[in-house]
Structure 1
Amino acid sequence: MSFDELLKELQGAKTNEGMDDHVSLEALFNEAFMKRCSSFKSFEEFLQKGNFQATTQEDISNIPEELFDRHVDRETHFDNWKSMLDQANAEHAARKLP
């Protein structure tokens, strides 16, 4: 196998790696999580309260960080978006363990 072929194969593996680990916002911020950490039943309600329109994590990353952090701080038990996202990811990972 040539170096170029190996490089292409490794790049393909890296591209596919993220595909399997993609978790929807609904899965991360399920009803139990939202009820426990906010006054909302769903992540969608939480977004609507802040007048945000986002359906993907990419959409959320396009919201000005300071604005979204203030909304998270006001409407949840978290100080900012990163801490909320980190907690949701940790809980989701724990649910996947056998």
Structure 2
Amino acid sequence: MSFDDLLKDLQGQNTVQEDPNHVALDVLFNESFMGEHSNCKTFEAFLEKGNFQVKTREDIHNIPDELFDRHVARETDFDNWKSMLDTATMKYAVKSDRMNES
């Protein structure tokens, strides 16, 4: 993924039509979600607060689980990254289902 692709991803400019199995991180962890579950307004700010250098989605996977889990536990109301990701995914799915029903 190029830097421009990552930037678009973080800004939510990559659409579901481009890849139906991929949801942009800032869509999944939108301001409403981050505001409800953390003191950070954006997912990007959350990453910066932990001094994580993330340029690609793979970079997130390369962060040692223990480090990322500690950051999540310290900065959010989740115990670990998996619970944060699962909750965001569930909320996104529910919202998407409601939008498709309209």
TM-score range for the pair, normalised by the shorter chain length: 0.7 to 0.9
TM-score of the aligned structures, taking structure 2 as reference length: 0.74
Residues 29/56 of structure 1: CA separation in 2 closer, same or farther (3 Å cut): farther
Q: Which has the higher helix share?
A: 1
Q: Flag the 1:29–1:91 CA change in 2: closer, same or farther, 3 A.
A: same
- Secondary structure at the counterpart of residue 48 of structure 2: helix
Provide structure 2 residue ranges, at least 5 long, that are not aligned to the other structure.
1-18
Aligned to 1:87: 87
Q: How many residues align?
A: 80
RMSD of aligned alpha carbons: 1.1
Q: Look up the equivalent residue of 1:39 and give its one-letter code.
A: N
Q: Hey, what's the Cα distance between the residues in 1 that align with 2:28 and 2:60?
A: 14
Work out whether 1:39 is the aligned partner of 2:3.
no
Q: CA deviation at 1:70?
A: 0.2
What letter corresponds to residue 49 of structure 1 in structure 2? K
User: What is the alpha-carbon distance in structure 2 between the residues aligned to residue 38 and residue 27 of structure 1?
Assistant: 16
Segment of structure 1 superposing worse, 25-34 or 49-58: 49-58
Cα distance in 2, alignment partners of residues 79 and 53 from structure 1: 22
**Distance in 1 of aligned mates of 2:91 and 2:53:** 25
TM-score, length-normalised on structure 1?
0.77
* Contact in 2 for aligned 1:24/1:56 (Cα 8 Å): no
Q: For 1:57 and 1:36, how far apart are their aligned partners in 2?
A: 23
